[in-house]
Structure 1
Amino acid sequence: MMRWFLAIVTFVFTGSVAATDMSVDQAVSRLLKDIKDVEVMRVPVPATPQRGVLTGKQTLPDTIRTGGTHRVRRGETLDMVIRKVAPNSPLQRDLLRKAFVRANPHAFRRNNPNWMYAGVVLRVPDIDDLRRVVFKDTPGSLKKNVSNEKAGWVRYP
């Protein structure tokens, strides 16, 4: 639509320059003829995928390529890898860092995301890896033993 508009503006401008030597009727007829000759190009625009739509199975947003691997090169940082694998991710970088470390403990010294070994193959974390980072415990392990409620209380004489 924008290209078509620019083409008309161009022909209007050139038509007005040529109109100095001809009458208004001739200029308008020439302009209409030029507009008919203009080929309007329609550029297909890809549909944007809807984020957060679940189809039975939960998946990550389309901006993260899961199931893949990445070989770490010398001098490459984890943030550089995250930018390559998930460039437009809506997830926080810190969350993705923790998911990478948890999914690839062999690739990081002392589980520190700043100490990544060169030459290792990183597995891109999937939704289960992210769940393990966000939700620390399973719901069953959160229940406390309530048999003795006052066991942790401090007693004063």
Structure 2
Amino acid sequence: MAGSDLSQEALWQRVAGRREGVLATLGPDGTPHLSNVYYLADPATRILRLSTTTGRAKGRNLLRDPRAALYVPGEDFFNYTVAEGRFDVAVATVVGEPAIDELYAVHAASGAAGDRPAFDRRMIRHRRMLVRAEIRRLYGLVHPAA
């Protein structure tokens, strides 16, 4: 089924109910670059957050071009959702800035945050950046169980 045939709420629930997806960004020559990512979805705002570094391909791509999509697999091959939007970035540079607070939430959701002062310093040292996307379009495929 096309996205217009599916309940947008059902598609969003799939995205919000998972933490793993495949991020598609655009390389310098326009070639798609795919990367497995952990993400955090805010059900109230429909905002996705994830963490990467400025040195990784997805980070460099998003710094150059914010257009991206997140593919979220469903229960099997015939079920998936794609979330599109503008994927804005904020590089962690100063302890106490909002981007580091959001990075902490992303890492804490997967149990990888640890001690807060050390976490903040590590985010800055590793050139971590928060990737935040307000989802503007959802589409996918739902194949009912036989």
**Structure 2 length as normaliser, TM-score?**
0.21
Which of the two has greater strand per residue?
2
Which of the two has greater helix per residue?
1
**Structure 1 length as normaliser, TM-score?**
0.20
